[in-house]
C-alpha cells in the first residue's frame, strides 16, 4: 500500500490514524450480524465441529495413556473456568470503571501438554493427520481402541512421515510435542522472536528446529515451501487451516457444558462477553465460531491485539484481510506478546468470522505487563504477556458503551491463552517488568 492509499483509508476510517499512532482503541464491527446467517455464510457447519469433537473423544484414551498429566480429565485436553473477583475489583479501581457483571478467566494457560490455546487446534490437527494415515494403512478402524496408537507399528509408520509448521513459538510447541510423541519426523520453523527456552524444549523432545532471522510470516512461508517439495510432509498451515480452526471450535461445547455445570446462564437476558487474544486469528476465530454455534446472538466476541500488531483489526476494518499488513500503517510488529506478533492476519479466518465478531480492541505491551503483575498479586495466577490481552475487554466494552456490557447479568469471560510452560525465571522477569511499570505510574 502506498502513502496515498494509506491517507485515503485514514480519511475514510479515522480510527486508523489512532491505530497508526499505537493508541489503545476499541473498534465495533459494523458487519456483525445475525449469528445463524453468519454461520451459514461461513461454509463451516455444526456437524464439522461435532466431527472434530468426536475425533478428540476417540483419541482421549490414547492421550490419557501417553500424557499422564491428563489422567484426571481422562485424556480430555481442557482447562478450568475460574471466577477472578479480586482482579475485577483491582481492574475497576485502576480504570475507575465499575464492572457490574461477573468476571471469569478461561485458563488455557493451564491446558495440559503444551500450556496454551494451541493445545486445542495444534494437537487436533496432528491427531487427525495421524488417524488418516493409520486408517489408510489399515492399522486401525475408527471404532477400535485408540490406545493402539502407542504401539510400535504405528510409530514405525509415522516415522516415515514428516510434519512441519511455521511458528512464533506456542504452535510449534503443540505441534512439536504431539508429533514427536506419535513418532513423526517433525520440523518447526521458528521466527527470530521465538524464545530460546521454547527452542530448547522442542529439541529436547526430538523436534528439528529451524531458525529464521526474519519474522513469523517468513518462517511460515519457508516452512510451507520446503514442505510442498516433499509428498510425505504434512504442513500445518496456521494461516489457512480448516483443521486447526475446527480443533479450536470444539471449545464452544466445552465452555457451554462448564458454564452450565457452574449454574451460569447464557441467554439474551444473560449475555456472555468473550475477549480473545488474536495473532493470525485461527485460535480466537475458531473459539468464537464454536461459541456462536452454542450461544448464537447471546455471545459477544471481541479480539484483542497488541498496539504494535493489530493485524486482524486492520484487516477487518478495511476488509482487505490478508492483503494488508500492519507495516502499511507504519507499525513495526514488535511486541513482547508471543503469538500475537503477527503482521498479516489469516484471510481464511477473517472472511469467516467477519459477520460473527462484535469488535476488536488493542492493548499496549505496558498494559499487558501491568495486568500480568496485578493478576499474580490478586489471584495468584501467572500468565504470559499475550494472555493478558483479553483482560481490558470488560473495560473497553463498558467504556465504549457496548450494549449490555455494563449489565449486572452479563458475564465477562477473559480467555487466558498461555502461561504454564514459561520457565520460572522468565516469569519472574515478566512480573518484575509489570511491577516497575505499576510503581512508576503511581509516582
Ligand X SMILES: *Cc1c(COP(=O)(O)O)cnc(C)c1O
Residues that bind ligand X (CB under 6 A): 116-118, 170, 277-284, 338-340, 384, 386-387, 417-418
Question: 60 vs 171, which CB is nearer to ligand X?
Answer: 171
How would you write the chain as a 3-class SS string?
CCHHHHHHHHHHCCHHHHHHCCCCCEEECCCCCCHHHHHHHHCCCHHHHHHHHHHHHHHHHHHHHHCHHHCCCCCCCCCCEEECHHHHHHHHHHHCCCCCCEEEEEEHHHCCCCCECHHHHHHHHHHHHHHHHHHHCCCCCCCCCHHHHHCHHHHHHHHCCEEEEEECCHHHHHHHHHHHHHCCEEEEEECCCCCHHHHHHHHHCCCEEEECCCCHHHHHHHHHHHHHCCCCEEEECCCCCHHHHHHHHCHHHHHHHHHHHCCCCCECCECEEEEEECCCCHHHHHHHHHHHHHHHHHEEEEEEEECCCCHHHHHHHHCCHHHCCHHHHCCCCCCCCCCCCCCCCCHHHHHHHCCCCCEEEEECHHHHHHHHHHHHHHHCCCCCHHHHHHHHHHHHHHHCCCCCCCCCCCEEEEEECECCCCCHHHHHHHHHHHHHHHHHHHC
Q: Taking the complex as a whole, how short is the minimal distance between the CB of residue 439 and ligand X, in angstroms? A: 26
Q: Taking the complex as a whole, how short is the minimal distance between the CB of residue 125 and ligand X, in angstroms? A: 12
| Residue found under cell 471469569 | 104
- C-alpha 127/C-alpha 246 separation (Å) is 12
Question: 64 vs 365, which CB is nearer to ligand X?
Answer: 365
Backbone angles phi, psi at 280, to 5 degrees: -80, -25
Q: Taking the complex as a whole, how short is the minimal distance between the CB of residue 80 and ligand X, in angstroms? A: 17
Q: Taking the complex as a whole, how short is the minimal distance between the CB of residue 358 and ligand X, in angstroms? A: 17
Question: 166 vs 183, which CB is nearer to ligand X?
Answer: 166
Question: 386 vs 396, which CB is nearer to ligand X?
Answer: 386
Q: Taking the complex as a whole, how short is the minimal distance between the CB of residue 167 and ligand X, in angstroms? A: 8
Question: 180 vs 304, which CB is nearer to ligand X?
Answer: 304
Question: 167 vs 373, which CB is nearer to ligand X?
Answer: 167
Do residues 241 and 282 make contact, with C-beta atoms less than 8 angstroms apart? Answer: yes
Q: Taking the complex as a whole, how short is the minimal distance between the CB of residue 311 and ligand X, in angstroms? A: 9
Q: Taking the complex as a whole, how short is the minimal distance between the CB of residue 384 and ligand X, in angstroms? A: 6
Question: 307 vs 417, which CB is nearer to ligand X?
Answer: 417
Pairing of strands 185-190, 162-167: parallel
Q: Taking the complex as a whole, how short is the minimal distance between the CB of residue 261 and ligand X, in angstroms? A: 25
Question: 166 vs 279, which CB is nearer to ligand X?
Answer: 279
CA atoms lying within 13 Å on the CB side of residue 380? 0
Do residues 222 and 192 make contact, with C-beta atoms less than 8 angstroms apart? Answer: no
Question: 318 vs 386, which CB is nearer to ligand X?
Answer: 386
Question: 133 vs 349, which CB is nearer to ligand X?
Answer: 349
Q: Taking the complex as a whole, how short is the minimal distance between the CB of residue 362 and ligand X, in angstroms? A: 14
Q: Taking the complex as a whole, how short is the minimal distance between the CB of residue 52 and ligand X, in angstroms? A: 16
Amino acid at each position: 500500500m502506498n502513502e496515498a492509499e494509506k491517507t485515503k483509508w485514514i480519511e475514510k476510517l479515522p480510527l486508523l490514524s489512532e491505530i497508526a499512532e499505537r493508541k489503545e482503541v476499541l473498534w465495533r464491527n459494523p458487519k456483525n450480524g445475525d449469528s445463524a446467517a453468519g454461520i451459514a455464510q461461513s461454509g463451516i457447519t455444526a456437524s464439522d465441529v461435532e466431527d472434530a469433537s468426536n475425533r478428540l473423544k476417540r483419541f482421549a484414551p490414547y492421550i490419557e495413556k501417553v500424557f499422564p498429566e491428563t489422567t484426571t480429565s481422562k485424556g480430555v485436553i481442557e482447562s478450568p473456568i475460574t471466577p477472578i473477583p479480586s482482579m475485577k475489583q483491582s481492574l475497576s479501581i485502576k480504570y475507575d470503571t465499575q464492572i457490574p457483571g461477573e468476571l471469569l478467566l478461561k485458563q488455557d494457560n493451564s491446558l495440559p501438554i503444551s500450556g496454551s490455546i494451541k493445545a486445542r487446534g495444534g494437537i487436533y490437527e496432528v491427531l487427525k493427520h495421524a488417524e488418516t494415515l493409520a486408517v489408510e494403512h489399515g492399522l486401525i478402524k475408527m471404532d477400535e481402541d485408540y490406545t493402539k496408537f502407542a504401539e510400535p507399528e504405528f510409530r514405525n509408520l509415522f516415522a516415515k512421515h514428516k510434519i512441519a509448521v511455521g511458528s512464533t513459538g506456542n504452535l510449534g510447541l503443540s505441534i512439536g510435542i504431539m508429533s514427536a510423541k506419535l513418532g513423526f519426523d517433525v520440523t518447526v520453523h521458528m521466527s527470530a522472536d521465538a524464545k530460546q527456552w521454547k527452542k530448547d524444549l522442542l529439541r529436547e523432545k526430538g523436534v528439528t528446529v529451524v531458525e529464521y532471522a526474519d519474522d513469523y510470516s517468513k518462517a511460515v512461508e519457508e516452512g510451507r515451501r520446503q514442505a510442498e517439495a516433499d509428498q510425505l510432509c504434512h504442513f500445518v498451515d496456521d494461516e489457512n487451516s480448516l483443521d486447526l480452526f475446527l480443533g479450536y471450535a470444539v471449545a464452544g461445547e466445552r465452555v457451554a457444558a462448564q458454564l452450565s455445570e457452574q449454574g451460569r446462564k447464557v441467554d439474551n437476558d444473560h449475555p456472555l462477553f468473550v475477549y480473545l487474544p488474536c495473532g493470525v486469528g485461527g485460535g480466537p476465530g475458531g473459539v468464537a465460531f464454536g461459541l456462536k454455534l452454542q450461544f448464537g446472538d447471546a455471545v459477544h466476541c471481541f479480539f484483542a491485539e497488541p498496539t504494535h500488531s493489530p493485524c486482524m483489526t486492520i484487516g477487518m476494518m478495511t476488509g482487505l484481510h490478508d492483503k494488508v499488513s500492519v507495516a502499511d500503517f507504519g507499525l513495526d510488529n514488535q511486541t513482547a506478546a508471543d503469538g500475537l506478533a503477527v503482521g498479516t492476519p489469516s484471510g481464511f479466518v477473517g472472511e469467516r468470522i467477519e459477520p460473527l465478531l462484535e469488535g476488536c480492541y488493542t492493548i499496549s505491551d505496558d498494559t499487558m505487563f501491568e495486568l500480568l503483575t496485578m493478576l499474580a498479586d490478586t489471584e495468584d495466577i501467572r500468565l504470559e504477556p499475550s494472555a493478558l490481552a483479553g483482560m481490558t475487554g470488560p473495560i473497553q466494552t463498558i467504556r465504549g458503551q457496548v450494549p449490555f456490557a455494563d449489565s449486572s447479568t452479563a458475564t465477562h469471560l477473559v480467555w487466558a491463552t498461555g502461561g504454564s510452560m514459561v520457565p520460572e525465571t522468565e516469569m519472574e522477569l515478566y512480573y518484575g517488568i509489570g511491577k516497575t511499570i505499576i510503581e512508576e505510574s503511581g509516582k
